[in-house]
Amino acid sequence: MGKVDVLNIYAVRITFFIVFLFTTLCLAQTRNPFAPDSPWPEGHGTYCQQSTDEASLASLGNLKLDRIPFGTANDGWSPSGTIVSERYPNGAYVCWGTNAKKIYKLIIENDKTQVIFADKAKLGHKLVSGYWVMAKNKLCYFMSDWTLYILRDKDLEDPYSEIELLAKIPTPELKTKGPGLDFMIGMKLLYNGQIVITTRKGKIALFDTDSRKIVQILNLEEKIQNNMAVEEGDFVYINSNRGTYQFQVGQNGIKQNWFAKTEKSGSTLSLMNAGEDKLLVVTNESDPLVLFALWRQEIPKEWKALPGKVRRIAGEIKIDYGKNKPKPSKNSVLVHNNKVLVANWTGLWPYGKKDNPGLSKYFWDSERNRFEKEWINTEIALPNSMQALSTQTGLVYAVGRRKLPGKKRLWTFEAIDWRTGISSFYLPLGTEKMNNATGSGIQIGWNGDIVFMTPKAAFRLYQTSNPTN
C-alpha cells in the first residue's frame, strides 16, 4: 500500500490519540490505550523495563508452586515472553504463550491452574516466534513461518473456552531472500493501535489492525539484533548490527528521526526516565562488556560528546561482576527510574555448562551525567532468565541455578532484594532440563502471581490462604 492508505488509516485514530495524549500528560500514565488492562500486557513489560508497581511474593510463607507439563516430546524453544490478560467476569485471567510448537492459554482462577492448547491442525502453524502482542478485546497476534495469526477466546467471557483462529494473514513480502537465516525478531503494539514488526535481516513493517494489512515496509538491509522498544508518540527504537535508530509512526507512515553509530548490542533496548533525562539503555556484545545510555529525544544543547563517541551517547560504564568474567547478554536489562540491573549470561541452552554468576546494579547520576555502581552480587547465577521487579515488594524475581554436591545443578526460583542485591529467598525447582528458562522472562500477574514458561512446562507461583494446599 502507498502513502494515501497510511494517511487514511491514521486519520481515523488521531482524535482518540489526542485525547489519550492529553490524559497521559495530565496523569503521567504510560499505559497503552490499545493494550489490555493488565499488570503485564507484554513479555518485556512497559518500556521493556521488566518492572511493575504491582505487589508480588514477599516470602516463602504459604507459597505454592503449580507446574503444568506440556508433554514428553521435545517441543523446541521456549517463549520470549508471556502475555497476561485482563480479568474475566469470574475473576480469572489467562496467560498466552508458546514453546515454539504449541500455542496455549494458562488459565488462573484462585488456587486452580490449568492449560488449554490450540488445535494445531486448525491453525496449521509451524515454529512459532516467542514474540506476542495482545490488544484490547482479547485479541492475540503472533507470527509463524511468515504468516501473521490472530487468535482469541471463542467465548470472550469464558477463560476456559477453546482458542479460536480469527485470521491467518500471509506476509511473504517480509522475508528477505539470500543466504543466512531470516525470521521475525520483534513485534510491538504502538500507542495508536497499530503493530510494528521487525525481521532478522532488517525489515520494519507497519501492520494496521483495522484493515489487517501490512501498510508499509522499510528495509534497513542490516541485521536487527533484538526486540524493539516503543513509547507514547509512537516512537520506535531499534538496534541493528550497525547502530541504534529512532523511528516515528505518523500521518506519513514510518519515518527515521535519528541514527547513532553504536556497538553491536547484546540486549533489547530499555527506556529509562531519570528525572528530566530521557534515555535508552542497552549492553553491547564486545569485550569489555559495557552498559551504555543514549539520549533518546533531543540532545541537551550543552552536551559535549564523550571522547571517541558519537554525541548521542550519554554515558557508559564497564560491567563488573567482581571475580566473575562478564559474558555478553542476550536479555533486556531491568530498569526502574534511574536504576539498572544487569545479570551475567551463560547461554540460551546452558545444559551441562558451567554457570557464570554475577549481578550488578547501576544508577544514572543526572547531575554528572554518568553511571555509578550501586552493588555487585558475585554468587547468584541467573543463566538465561530475564528478571522482573515488583517495586511494592522491593524484590527482583528470576529463574536461577545453584550448584549441588557432585555434578548436578539445581534450577531455582530466586527472589533478590532490589536495594542490596542480597538473596531474600529461593525455591528449588528441580534438576531437570524442563526447568530451564531458555531466555524467557518472569511475568507478574494479578494478585502478585509469578508466571514463567519453559520449553516443557508452565509454572505459577502464588501465596495461598490455605497452608495445607
Nearest partner of 429 among 63, 55, 61, judged by Cα: 63
Task: Locate 8 and state its grid cell.
Answer: 487514511
Q: Which domains does the chain have, with CATH numbers?
A: 3-463 (2.130.10.10)
C-alpha cell at position 424: 531474600
Distance between CA 226 and CA 232 in Å, rounded?
20
Give the model confidence (pLDDT) of 111-164 as tens digits.
999 999 999 888 888 877 777 889 988 999 988 889 999 999 999 999 999 999
Closest CA to 310 of 322, 323, 299: 299
Q: What angle do CA 298, 299, 300 make, to 5 degrees?
A: 110
What local confidence, expressed as pLDDT, does residue 80 receive?
A: 58
Residue listed under C-alpha cell 569485550 = 287
pTM: 0.90
| Cα Dmax for the chain | 67
pLDDT tens-digit profile of 20-52?
Answer: 333 333 333 478 999 999 988 888 877 888 888
Residue 363 CB-half CA count within 13 A: 11
The letter for the amino acid at 34 is: F
Reading the chain (469 residues) residue by residue, the pLDDT tens digits are: 433 344 444 444 444 444 333 333 333 347 899 999 998 888 887 788 888 888 999 999 899 999 998 865 555 555 556 889 999 999 999 999 887 778 899 999 999 999 999 998 888 888 777 778 899 889 999 888 899 999 999 999 999 999 999 999 999 999 999 988 898 888 999 999 999 999 999 999 999 999 999 999 999 999 998 889 999 999 999 999 899 999 999 988 999 999 999 887 778 899 999 988 999 999 988 778 899 999 999 999 999 999 999 999 999 999 999 999 888 877 789 999 999 999 998 877 776 678 889 999 999 999 999 999 999 999 999 998 889 999 999 999 999 999 888 778 899 999 999 999 999 999 999 988 778 887 788 999 999 999 998 878 889 999 987 654 4
DSSP string, 141-161: EEEESSEEEEEEESSTT-TTS
